[in-house]
């Protein structure tokens, strides 16, 4: 039986110094039936030439402008030929068994549509960035185990709510079923959105500790930009994906949480990040009619029970 082709899509923007450790690690994979696609968001640091000169086997897609994380990933996924398609941040270095570990999960679990890796800090490799992601009853995503020392507390495979987009892997069947990333997100929480859409139609996410990824945090994105998109896209996720029954059950928790976030930003309005977050939240409200149209499409596809979705939510995090 032939091995499934594993496509790896790497969105890239002005991160030339991260290319070598990222691409060299992929060249050392024990599982070699892979294709690597780098999608460049109109970098201005010479990244394109580095790839052409030193990594001729890498498929380079050069976009004419910066289309964000979602635009780059979608361009790569559309070009990918694999039965499995993984998204990988450019500021990562994967363990030599990473691809094999992900393939093993898909081969052993027919209900799994998304695989979450164990992401460790690049410069502090015994500390966790995420061991799969969760989603709380007050409407916020979170990284399981973030900042914790890795003492084996996440050494078992577990079903989780979602996978961090920096190292998420998808069956092609999932993408055929629910579509690609939502381009309106541009950057941040697009991974939560696609995981919600997968959960709603019965595809599960499994975290495996055997797929290890080392990650620089916010190496080519973050700061004020992240505050804006966090404020905006958290509301995008909630309006599009949360079923009415869960809004009725947890709505006051969610509204209270969002008001607390807005109030904290208002009190710190002199800071650029605080103003960016408030701006993002207000933009989301302006986009409410469009979001409600998307919600109708998403909710019409739901096949799982409300009890199941409720069981996948976590208590509010500190």
Q: Going from the first residue of the chain to its last (318 residues), give the mean pLDDT of each consecutive group of 10, the final group possibly shorter.
A: 91 95 98 97 96 97 97 98 98 98 98 98 95 98 96 97 97 97 97 98 98 81 82 98 98 96 87 92 97 98 98 94
Question: Which of 258, 271, 259, 253 lies closest to 310 in space, CA to CA?
Answer: 253
Among 164, 187, 215, identify where a domain stops: 215
Instruction: Give the C-alpha separation, 12 to 82, whole Å.
Output: 20
310 belongs to a structural domain: no
Helices 288-300 and 272-286, packing angle to 10 deg = 70
Token pair for 168: 């998420």
- The reply to whether 74 and 208 lie within a common domain is yes
Can you list the positions of beta strands (E) in the chain? 6-12, 34-40, 59-62, 84-87, 92-94, 112-121, 128-131, 133-135, 141-143, 158-160, 169-171, 204-215
Which positions ≥6 away from 222 have C-beta within 8 Å? Answer: none
- The reply to whether 246 and 207 lie within a common domain is no
> What was the pLDDT predicted at 222?
58
pLDDT tens, residue by residue, 261-281: 999 988 887 789 899 999 999
26 belongs to a structural domain: yes
- Check: CB of residue 226 under 8 Å from CB of residue 271: no
> What was the pLDDT predicted at 1?
63
String of b and e for 66-96 (b: at least 16 CB within 10 Å)? bbbbbbbbbbbbeebebbbbbbbbbbbbbbe
Structure-token match 């898909």, residue found: 106
- Check: CB of residue 73 under 8 Å from CB of residue 11: yes
Q: Give whole-number Cα distances, 57 to 3, 75, 162, in Å.
A: 19, 18, 31
211 belongs to a structural domain: yes
Among 170, 193, 215, identify where a domain stops: 215
pLDDT tens, residue by residue, 176-190: 999 999 999 999 999
Instruction: Give the C-alpha separation, 82 to 16, whole Å.
Output: 26
312 belongs to a structural domain: no
- The reply to whether 54 and 194 lie within a common domain is yes
313 belongs to a structural domain: no
Considering Cα of 187, then 260, then 274, then 316, what sign does the dihedral take? Answer: negative
315 belongs to a structural domain: no
- The reply to whether 26 and 168 lie within a common domain is yes
Report which DSSP code applies to 271: S
- Which residues constitute the domain of residue 122? 6-215
> What was the pLDDT predicted at 141?
97
- The reply to whether 211 and 233 lie within a common domain is no
Token pair for 304: 């799982």
> What was the pLDDT predicted at 267?
87
**Residue 156, beta-bridge partner list:** none
Among 188, 215, 242, identify where a domain stops: 215
Instruction: Give the C-alpha separation, 137 to 190, whole Å.
Output: 19
Q: How many domains does the structure of the chain reveal?
A: 2
Instruction: Give the C-alpha separation, 308 to 312, whole Å.
Output: 7
User: How far does the chain reach from its first CA to its final CA, in angstroms?
Assistant: 48
- The reply to whether 203 and 228 lie within a common domain is no
> What was the pLDDT predicted at 268?
82
């Amino acid at each position: 039986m032939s091995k499934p082709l594993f496509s790896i899509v790497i969105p890239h923007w002005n991160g030339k110094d991260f290319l070598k450790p990222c691409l060299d690690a992929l060249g050392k994979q024990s599982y070699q039936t892979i294709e690597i696609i780098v999608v460049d968001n109109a970098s201005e640091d010479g990244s394109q030439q580095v790839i052409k000169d030193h990594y001729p086997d890498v498929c380079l897609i050069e976009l004419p402008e910066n289309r964000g994380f979602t635009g780059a990933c979608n361009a790569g996924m559309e070009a990918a030929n694999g039965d499995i398609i993984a998204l990988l941040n450019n500021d990562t270095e994967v363990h030599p068994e990473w691809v094999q570990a992900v393939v093993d999960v898909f081969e052993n679990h027919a209900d799994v549509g998304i695989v979450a890796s164990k992401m460790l800090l690049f410069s502090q490799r015994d500390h966790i960035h995420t061991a799969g992601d969760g989603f709380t009853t007050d409407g916020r995503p979170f990284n399981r185990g973030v900042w914790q020392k890795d003492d084996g507390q996440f050494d078992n495979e577990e079903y989780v709510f979602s996978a961090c987009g920096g190292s998420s892997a998808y069956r092609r069947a999932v993408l055929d079923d629910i579509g690609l990333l939502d381009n309106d997100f541009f950057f941040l929480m697009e991974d939560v959105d696609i995981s919600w859409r997968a959960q709603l139609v019965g595809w599960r996410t499994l975290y495996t500790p055997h797929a290890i990824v080392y990650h620089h945090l916010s190496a080519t994105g973050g700061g004020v930009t992240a505050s804006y998109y966090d404020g905006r896209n958290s509301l995008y996720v909630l309006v599009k994906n949360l079923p009415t029954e869960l809004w009725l059950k947890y709505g006051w928790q969610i509204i209270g949480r969002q008001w607390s976030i807005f109030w904290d930003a208002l009190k710190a309005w002199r800071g650029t990040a605080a103003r960016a977050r408030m701006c993002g939240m207000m933009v989301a409200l302006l986009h409410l009619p469009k979001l409600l149209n998307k919600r109708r499409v998403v909710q019409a596809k739901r096949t799982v029970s409300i009890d199941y979705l409720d069981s996948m939510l976590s208590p509010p995090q500190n």
